[in-house]
Structure 1
Amino acid sequence: MEPAARRARPDDLDAAARTLAAAFAEYPWTRFVIPETDYAARLLELQSLYLGYAHQHGVVGVTPDRAGVIALVPPAAPDPDARTVERIVALHGERISRIEAPEPTGRAWRLETLGVAPELQGRGLASALLRFALDAVGDLGGAEIELTTSDPRNVRLYERHGFTVEAHVERPERPPIWSMRAALHG
């Protein structure tokens, strides 16, 4: 049976944040932008903040067991409130300067995160979440989705779902970044 995904409810968000924290515990970019001191707690709180924002302004999808999570925000989403921004800056600490926000195109939805519990990776959950997201954004009138990733395995996953690489940046002092985009066909 093919895994399914659905729109997250508010009571899904805590478990979803835990899933994302586990999925990103060793992710190169996460390790680069979050200090080692209290790393796990910082990562969990950041995931919770980001999910809450995406749930309020965009689309969050989960697998039924919440072992997989995806979050997207529309191009017109407002900036997070000052208190949230202040907390995000504090959690990143001295590494906040390492974050380079991509330039929004003004028309593309942004896939902010996609994660699957490590013990369940490779079972089709990420693909199910991507199909859910592509359909959800299309249903909401979105024409394209953009994202960045620091893992070449993710590039292959996204390419299988219609994303193309628009830029690839390698610098010795940080993890690589692939910028990708998919046009939605309604």
Structure 2
Amino acid sequence: MAKTMSSTISWTTTIFSEKLGHRSDKVRVCGIEDYKACARSLAEAFYDDDVAFYFLDVPDNGGKTREELWPLHLEILEYIVCAHIHNGLVLSIGENHEGVALWMPPGKNMDDWYTIFRTGMWRLYFKLTAEGKKRYFGEFMEVLHQTKVNALGEQDNDAWYLVYIGVTPSARGRGYARKLVEHVTDKVDQEGGAPCYLESSHIRNVSMYQRFGFEKHSRVYLGEQTEKPVPLDIMIRPAMTYTKTGRRMSTVGYKLGSK
């Protein structure tokens, strides 16, 4: 069975509270002093990502290019990284945080008003265009929340949520993504197992996540009524645990929500 919320949070604080050494080949836990560097790496990693720009590449933005939208793209990720430092887990790898993963532990989120206020995320309401606000607050956040609840069903509050993972273009091919994922999944498995969840914003990444144990569950679209709907592949890694022989197996009785 998956751990309870209280035991998971206790496990998180004891296992992940000590920051690791600043080495290029080791995963480390990031604090508030690292948020700008982590956000910049994610901004570079998601510069060509249609989901990240779904609420920026909008008809009423005055025809701005992605280069012109870069400052706001970066600012949004700074808010998101800060929220995960406060409420979740931010991991990085590389001498300059070239690989970054944002995880939300079971029962946690970044959508409460206190987090929105102290991270500055509330400023987005005044910086996005009318269409951008509609897409971000009225569609994007709601679709992601409801899709996760529907996909995981009764396991939703027990799941680890990989919200963002990105590696800068210059640092790809070094195995950073695998280390950022397995830093959490290995410990989760060793502690008795819990499901993990993510949305893949590019089809090329689906096979990579499958190698990490994630299974494709379904696909949803942002902007179904627009000229260019943006797909998201929903992926779930079933709860796993180690057997006496050292092999990882799905935990008995695990059931996902309906597709």
The TM-score with structure 1 as length reference comes to: 0.86
Higher Rg = 2
1:31 aligns with 2:53: yes
- SS across alignment from 1:89: helix
1:69 aligns with 2:69: no
What's 1:178 paired with?
233
Bigger strand fraction: 1
Higher relative contact order (CA 8 A, sep 6+): 1
Counterpart Cα distance in 1 of 2:104 and 2:46: 19
Instruction: Give the letter for the 2:41 counterpart.
Output: T
Assess, with a 3 A threshold, how the Cα gap between structure 1 residues 12 and 108 changes in structure 2: closer, same or farther: same
What's 1:88 paired with?
124
Q: Which residues of structure 1 form unaligned runs of 5+?
A: none
Counterpart Cα distance in 2 of 1:49 and 1:139: 32
For 1:61-140, list aligned pairs within 5 A.
61-65=91-95, 66-78=97-109, 79-81=112-114, 82-83=116-117, 84-93=120-129, 94-98=131-135, 99=140, 100-103=143-146, 104=149, 105-135=156-186, 137=188
What's 2:196 paired with?
145
- SS across alignment from 2:158: coil
Q: Which moved more, 1:172-181 or 1:123-132?
A: 172-181
Residues 82-119 of structure 1 deviation map (CA, whole Å, 9 limit, x = unaligned): 53452233444322333132323232121110010111
What's 1:43 paired with?
73
What's 1:159 paired with?
210
1:40 to partner: Cα distance: 0.8
Assess, with a 3 A threshold, how the Cα gap between structure 1 residues 91 and 128 changes in structure 2: closer, same or farther: farther
1:18 to partner: Cα distance: 0.6
The TM-score with structure 2 as length reference comes to: 0.63
What's 1:20 paired with?
42
Counterpart Cα distance in 2 of 1:175 and 1:122: 26
- SS across alignment from 2:36: helix
1:140 to partner: Cα distance: 7.8
Matched-pair contact (CA < 8 Å) for 2:79–2:121: no
Counterpart Cα distance in 1 of 2:127 and 2:185: 31
Two-structure CA RMSD over aligned residues (Å)? 2.5
Assess, with a 3 A threshold, how the Cα gap between structure 1 residues 24 and 72 changes in structure 2: closer, same or farther: same
Q: Which moved more, 1:61-70 or 1:82-91?
A: 82-91
Counterpart Cα distance in 2 of 1:70 and 1:140: 21
Instruction: Give the letter for the 1:111 counterpart.
Output: L
1:154 to partner: Cα distance: 1.4
Matched-pair contact (CA < 8 Å) for 1:4–1:129: no
Assess, with a 3 A threshold, how the Cα gap between structure 1 residues 75 and 97 changes in structure 2: closer, same or farther: farther
Give the paired residue count.
Answer: 185
Matched-pair contact (CA < 8 Å) for 1:109–1:142: no
